[in-house]
Structure formats: C-alpha cells, structure tokens
C-alpha cells in the first residue's frame, strides 16, 4: 500500500504546476489583448479601403494614359533624333 499523503501540504510538483498555469494564463490574456488590437487595426484598414474603393482603378487608368503619352513622345523624339 502507498503511504498516506498529507493533503494539506502542497508538493513541489504542485507548486510548480500552479506557477506554470499562472504563467500560461497571463500569456493567454496578453494574446487575447493582441488579437483584439489586431481586429481593431483590420477594421480601421477596411474602413479606409472602403473610403477609397474606386480610386485605385482610377489611378491605374491615369498611370496607363500618362505612360502611353510619355512613351509616344519619347518614341516620336527618338525617331526624329535618330532618324529611324
């Protein structure tokens, strides 16, 4: 038969387990706070993107037109300059 244990005194292993549980609990709380902050950041970015939703396409088209005009001017000047 195993010896009778004295339940009123915590063992070294029990104390160590309580410390680990406490540390893990603290880490979980920090992670929950970090996740909450991330949700706020994503929400803020979504709001910002929704505000500017059509501007990306407009800027892309403007860039294509500008690039085409500049490319045409350079090709014209190059043809005149180099005689090709």
In a domain, 20, yes or no: yes
Asked whether residue 61 falls in the same domain as residue 73, the answer is yes
pLDDT at residue 82, as a whole number: 66
What is the tally of structural domains in the chain? 2
The residue among 50, 74, 73, 70 whose CA lies nearest residue 62 is 70
CA atoms within 13 A on the CB side of 73: 6
Q: State the pTM of this model.
A: 0.47
Say if residues 32 and 39 touch (Cβ distance below 8 Å).
Answer: no
Mean pLDDT of 9-17: 89
What is the number of helices (H) and of strands (E) in the chain? 2, 0
Asked whether residue 14 falls in the same domain as residue 49, the answer is yes
Asked whether residue 84 falls in the same domain as residue 60, the answer is yes
> Does position 59 have pLDDT exceeding 80, yes or no?
yes
pLDDT band at 47 (very low <50, low <70, confident <90, very high): confident
């Amino acid at each position: 038969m195993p010896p009778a244990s004295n339940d009123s005194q915590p063992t070294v292993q029990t104390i160590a387990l309580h410390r680990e549980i406490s540390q893990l609990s603290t880490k979980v709380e920090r992670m929950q706070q970090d996740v909450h902050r991330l949700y706020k950041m994503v929400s803020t970015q979504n709001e910002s993107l929704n505000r500017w939703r059509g501007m990306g396409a407009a800027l892309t088209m403007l860039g294509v037109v500008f690039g085409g005009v500049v490319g045409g001017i350079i090709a014209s000047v190059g043809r005149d300059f180099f005689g090709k």
